[in-house]
Structure 1
Amino acid sequence: MRRYFLFYMKRLFLRLLLVAVIFTIAAAGAFAWWANRPLALTASPIEVVIKPNSSVASVGRQIQRGGVRMDPRLFALLVRLTGHGADLKAGGYEFDSSATPLSVIGKIARGEVNHYVLTVIEGWEFRKMRAAVDAHPALKHDSRGLSDVELMKAIGAPEPAPEGLFFPDTYLFARGSSDLELYKHAYRAMQRRLTDAWNARAPDLPYKSPYEALIMASIVEKETGQPAERPLIAAVFVNRLRKGMMLQTDPTVIYGMGEAFEGNIRKRDLQSDTPYNTYTRNGLPPTPIALPGLASLAAATAPAPSDALYFVARGDGSSHFSNSLPEHNRAVDKYQRGK
């Protein structure tokens, strides 16, 4: 009986093993068939932008969002099986109706870009954008050696100070394109976004011009811990302007310090007057202090309905908003001083 049982179990194991082998071969065959099968596209040809420093999973999602009907999970699996996990390159890629998963991966791994990309981050100061442009190897650097004022003239912008006037976004360009064309594109993009926000602004805002709204948007961009709080932060500063109160916002002080800022703001920094020190001067600073994104433009021109005049960081990325100084002082004691 025991011998029969062992014989039976052995046969069962072999059958299960055979089924597993057949299943594995079938799955591998199906996967290989899929990897070499033309993909469905929402249009043909189609251009997909892969952003810099994207993970394999993120690249798969960007391809899918760009109009290539491919499961990002299968894409990630195929990338790892082909050993291209560390080879995927940023850029703009064009695919037509003959594209297969394998050819898509190969094209991105080889960097066969139709366009190159440069991503300008929300909240960057212009000097950081300029450093990124200067460092891009695919651009023709016609702005090299120009001062900021000369650069603005070269792109036909009437403003002498560039801060805040370039829209943070991902920009595509062909190899050898002039960096001045990229600056023009980013400048015009900000003008369009600012005009749209200004035309949709709330009534009775304390701004004399769209440029002042842009200054406020840059402050909101630098003060924001939680994206959802942008309209409330804008409301605090708008309420302060209406009441003639000083804005008293650290990011403007830091901007005014320039390269003298060493990472920590001190009491004497708040007391040292510069055109950007909103602890020593009323009203808005003379220029923006960063490149604001679309959400900050919207918040500056349509603040939340709130009477708040103060806010303090809770320490978890969010802020506590107060309508009065005593309430604010209690919040400072609780969240900053640990009382």
Structure 2
Amino acid sequence: MPRRSRRPQRWALLIILSLLGFAAYSAYAGWQQLTTYPERPGLGSAETIAFEVPAGASFPRVLELLQEHQIIAADEATAFKLFVLHRGAAGKITAGKHSFRGDMTPSEILDELMRAQPSLERRVTIPEGKHSMQIAGLLAEAGLGGSQEALLAAMRDPALLERLGIPAISAEGYLFPDTYKFSTEASAEEIITRMVRRHQQVYAEVHRANIDGAKRLADDFGWGDHQIVIMASLIEKETGQAAERPRIASVFLNRLRFATFKPKLLQTDPTIIYGCTVPVQKSEAC
């Protein structure tokens, strides 16, 4: 009986050993990649590159953005993806503005992507009874609108006032006192617009609830919305007690009804103080 050849068995053993060796080398290479890749500097320049990660962006989308801005080379995208997944950081990337350099390591890039973003909103409370200069100061102190001067300029911008339907030379009286949240990137015009729109919303509700009173003011004095706003502002400055305001309103209106009361200027303390401090062109009574 012929002896069975051992050559096929040797070939099978060699193939198995080769596969094991290849697997061991692949594992070693992969381990080397995971341990050395994160600290390998990029080949780009030290120039700063900034872009914004949109809110809700998926990790694949962030990976695309990194390649689009040449922060990660296309041939390194897979390695960076594996590195991020190995760190369990795919869901820890924060939305907002990030700054990178072309020579950053993958580890530095990931740290920047996970960096906590400063709040993009500011909360500010505008109390009742504040005039435009005070309101502009409060907004500027909160880091909103650029500066007090920029905010005052927006309040007096004829084009903006026309768009908002304000028949006056400033938004005085139309900046509704409330607690607001504004983006730190909101312009002075956007801030003033929102405050005026809030005033218009509340005024419309109050007007509907007091339609008969508004009609009497129109019949007796020829007043429209603007004149009502002025009178409401005067009464608010005259007293901080809500219970006293109806009585003060009656005194002012009765005074204006007198035929002998001319030239129909109330000249109350609030009007004198305001005229001497806030407007660009000060009152002659100062």
TM-score of the superposed pair, with normalisation by structure 1: 0.39
- In terms of fraction of residues, the more helix-rich structure is 2
Larger radius of gyration: 2
